[in-house]
Amino acid sequence: MITEFLKGLQRTLFDRPLKPGLLIQERYRITEVLGMGSYGITYLALDNLTKTTVVLKQLRKTKAKTKSGLRSFQRESEILKAVNHPQVPKLLDEFQNNKGLFITMEWVQGETFEDLIFRDQHSYNEKETKAILLELLNIIESFHEKDIIHRDLRIPNIIQRNGTLHIIDFGLACFLSDEETLDPDDHPEKLRMQPVTVESDLFALGHFALFLLYSSYDPQSKKEKSWEEELTISHSFKAALRNMLQLDEPFHSVAEARSALNQI
């Protein structure tokens, strides 16, 4: 508790977001603070050169003083360059000034699945969930072919835009050659999502699928049951999810997961 309090105090004192209206690099005018992540502060900004809205990400000042923080920020830039996929934001610019280190990315204007499920009350059945998973697997396979693991495939980081899916936020992404650094005290779910392995992304997708499926779940009793008992889905879909969630022998590649889903 004390550690979390000190971290929160540190953010308040040293990592305050820049104010809307501020002009950065004589080009990017901040319009909105989107949020603060583990090491970065993200903004929407107007690019005065191109007259388009972009995402501006600033390395937190406290993280800029650490080697790991600097490396993580630089790695996100490297990974976005390497990914180069139409369903991933493009890296547009990177620079450093008296306000800190920044990268600028394409703004993917759409709805996150967090908003679709909890704000808009959208529900997804088995057929829709399977179709979404297959599209995501195609995108993720392109990462894995370049030895890149996303490690944060959650409902806030997957966007639907004009019927097409996009994956954002590569702040935790890494290369398969990167050294693994995990906190053994983290939640077990987090420990399965963040190893530097292909299986971690597939685990995250399985968890993502449960969010979609539970959006159409109508509880009939107050008794707590497992997801396998509560969700009305086919036996073969349950089996595929068990593999993704590492409850049975995990899938070791996107191809294995795709094959299982296509057989449903």
The answer to whether 263 and 236 have CB atoms below 8 angstroms apart is yes
pLDDT band at 2 (very low <50, low <70, confident <90, very high): very low
Cα separation, 157 vs 56, in Å, equals 16
Q: Find the range with the poorest average confidence among 29-33, 97-101, 132-136, 162-166.
A: 97-101
* Burial (Cβ within 10 Å: 0-12, 13-18, ≥19) of residue 28: buried
pLDDT in tens, 44-65: 999 999 999 999 999 998 888 8
12 burial via Cβ count (<10 Å: 0-12, 13-18, 19+) = exposed
Q: What is the rounded average pLDDT of the residues 111-121?
A: 97
Q: What are phi and psi of 262, to 5 degrees?
A: -70, -20
Which residues are designated catalytic? 152
**Model's pTM, two decimal places?**
0.88
Indicate the pLDDT class of residue 4, thresholds 50, 70 and 90: very low
Distance between CA 64 and CA 51 in Å, rounded?
30
Q: Per residue, what are the HEC states of 106-122? A: ECCCCEEHHHHHHHCCC
99 labeled binding residue: no
Contact 246, 192 (CB under 8 A): yes
Burial of 116 (0-12, 13-18, 19+ CB in 10 A): buried
Strands 52-59 and 91-97: what pairing? unpaired
Name which of 189, 191, 169, 167 is nearest 180 in CA terms. Answer: 191
For residue 28, what are the β-bridge partners? 24, 47
239-260: b (≥16 Cβ within 10 Å) or e: ebbbbbbeeeebbeebebbbeb
Q: Is the pLDDT of residue 201 over 80?
A: yes
> Is it the case that residue 178 has pLDDT exceeding 50?
yes
Q: What percent of the chain has pLDDT over 90?
A: 74
> Is 180 strand, coil or helix?
coil
Parse the chain into domains and list their residue ranges: 2-106, 111-262
Topology annotation, domain 111-262: Transferase(Phosphotransferase); domain 1 (1.10.510)
**CA dihedral for 15, 21, 22, 23, sign (positive or negative):** positive
> Average pLDDT, stretch 157-169?
96
List the one residue out of 207, 209, 171, 165 whose CA is nearest residue 189: 207
Task: Name the range with the highest mean pLDDT among 75-84, 189-198, 217-226.
Answer: 75-84
pLDDT at 12 over 60: no
Contact 175, 80 (CB under 8 A): no
Fold of 2-106: Phosphorylase Kinase; domain 1 (3.30.200)
